[in-house]
Amino acid sequence: MKILALDTSCDDTSTAVVDGLKVESNVISSQVRYHKKFGGVVPFLAQRLHKERIDSVVELALKRAEIDPLRLDAIAVTVGPGLAPALEVGIQKAKTLAEKWNLPIYRVNHMAGHLASSLTQVGSRVNQVEFPVLGLLVSGGHTELVYAKKWGDFKLLGQTLDDALGEAYDKLSKMLGMGYPGGPLIAKLAEKGEASRYELPIPLKYSKDYNFSYSGLKNASRLLIETLRAESPDGVLNRAQIEDLAASFEKVAQTAIVLKVEKVLHDYPECQYLLLGGGVAANTVLRRRLRVACKPFGVKLITPLHRFLCTDNAAMIGVAAYLDYLAGKKPDKISELDRKPGLLIG
């Protein structure tokens, strides 16, 4: 089944062609350099840029997959969660194309897409899993633990009460006067830092639920930066301090994840697989720590098979739609398709 998928949920204009689980093409036009100076994504700027780029991104995805639109079987599009003005562009384009080519259309939850990213086939490589599975989704907007009895039968077990994990990385980067997105930058600095130098609080260490919280860690980091700046003769942090701060932050931010993952693995012994998705899934230290956490439970950590599948991409949206189709979901009515900025999984 060949699906043309579109995702414009945030600051990437992405279109892909998938054939079943397999990626045939995946085009991502990033807007990062435009939003960078604002330290985050500006919704109406994102909308304007999506509008400018969507046609060429669709064209390129079809070209790279070497497919005539007449050979497509369906269109898939992200309807939420995401930025309303940004989502709107992908949905309108998907509707137009579905009508033009007379194709059925499937709406996709962006977080179900991130869950599908580790089930997505790249070349001849594909991850095999058996349901029920657990999912850990860590992106710039979301931090979620999901239980999936089978594909499509999702239960949201816990989520962040305030900032998401990726957002916390981004905000620390901004506080340090560095770039956006901050995740890869902080992760790089943390590699060289001493994680035990600064003591920062582990978020929700003692809570008995599956939720997360990163605003307390953000505030503690801000206070620490202010104190270090006040103590510094020239008012700036030196390289070693920045690296140690990044490492100390990363350690506790990830410990909060590991603690809840251990809890969920303990509470759901019927699950043999933990699927990891979202931009922060690209973090190699997090992957390593999760693998270690999974081991005593006999659980296998399943990660996306390529970096491009971690951050936002349309291939995962196409694969989620294909899995929906396999699960018996019927196509959606074009007239009923609308943006759902606050859509939850499950």
Residue ranges that bind Zn ion, judged by CB under 5 A? 139, 312
Size of the chain in residues = 346
Q: Which two tokens stand for residue 164?
A: 């998401």
Of the two residues 58 and 164, which places its CB atom closer to ligand KG4 in the complex? 164
Supply the minimum distance, in Å, between the C-beta of residue 260 and ligand KG4. 17
Q: Tell me the H-state helices in 146-214.
A: 165-175, 182-192
Q: Which two tokens stand for residue 124?
A: 């001849």
Of the two residues 47 and 248, which places its CB atom closer to Zn ion in the complex? 47
Whether omega for the bond prior to residue 104 falls within 30 degrees of 0, making it cis, is no
Residues 166-225 that bind ligand KG4 (CB under 6 A): 166-167, 169-170, 181-184, 187
Supply the minimum distance, in Å, between the C-beta of residue 257 and ligand KG4. 11
Neighbours of 303 (CB within 10 A): 21
Residues 89-148 that bind ligand KG4 (CB under 6 A): 139-141
Whether omega for the bond prior to residue 81 falls within 30 degrees of 0, making it cis, is yes
Supply the minimum distance, in Å, between the C-beta of residue 161 and ligand KG4. 17
Please give the DSSP secondary-structure letter assigned to residue 295.
G
183 binds, among ligand KG4, Zn ion, none (CB under 5 to 8 A by kind): ligand KG4
Task: Give ∠ CA 20-25-28 in degrees, rounded to 5.
Answer: 125
Per-residue CA distances from 29 to 32, 122, 201 (Å): 9, 20, 37
Cα–Cα distance, 117 to 198 (Å, whole number)? 35
Q: Please name every residue paired with 251 in a beta bridge, in sequence order, or none if there are none.
A: none
Of the two residues 74 and 302, which places its CB atom closer to ligand KG4 in the complex? 302
Supply the minimum distance, in Å, between the C-beta of residue 140 and ligand KG4. 3
198 membership: H or E segment, kind and range:
none
Supply the minimum distance, in Å, between the C-beta of residue 124 and Zn ion. 26
221 binds, among Zn ion, ligand KG4, none (CB under 5 to 8 A by kind): none
Confirm if 316 and 116 have CB atoms less than 8 A apart: yes
Count residues contacting ligand KG4 (CB under 6 A)?
20
User: For residue 289, how many C-alpha atoms fall within 13 Å in the half-sphere facing its CB?
Assistant: 19
Supply the minimum distance, in Å, between the C-beta of residue 231 and Zn ion. 38
Of the two residues 173 and 241, which places its CB atom closer to ligand KG4 in the complex? 173
The 54-93 site mask, x for binding ligand KG4 (CB under 6 A), equals ----------------------------------------
Q: Which two tokens stand for residue 234?
A: 């020239």
Q: Which two tokens stand for residue 169?
A: 């990385």
Q: Which two tokens stand for residue 179?
A: 């770039």
90 binds, among Zn ion, ligand KG4, none (CB under 5 to 8 A by kind): none
169 binds, among ligand KG4, Zn ion, none (CB under 5 to 8 A by kind): ligand KG4
Residue 332 binds ligand KG4, judged by CB under 6 A: no
Supply the minimum distance, in Å, between the C-beta of residue 141 and Zn ion. 7
Q: How far apart are the first and last CA of the chain?
A: 25
Query: Tokens 């809570």 identify what position?
Result: 207
182 binds, among Zn ion, ligand KG4, none (CB under 5 to 8 A by kind): ligand KG4
Cα–Cα distance, 71 to 23 (Å, whole number)? 16
Residue range at the interface with ligand KG4 (CB under 6 A); choices 25-33, 54-62, 161-169, 290-298: 161-169
Supply the minimum distance, in Å, between the C-beta of residue 190 and ligand KG4. 9
* Interface contacts to ligand KG4, rule CB under 6 A: 10, 139-141, 166-167, 169-170, 181-184, 187, 278-280, 282-283, 311-312
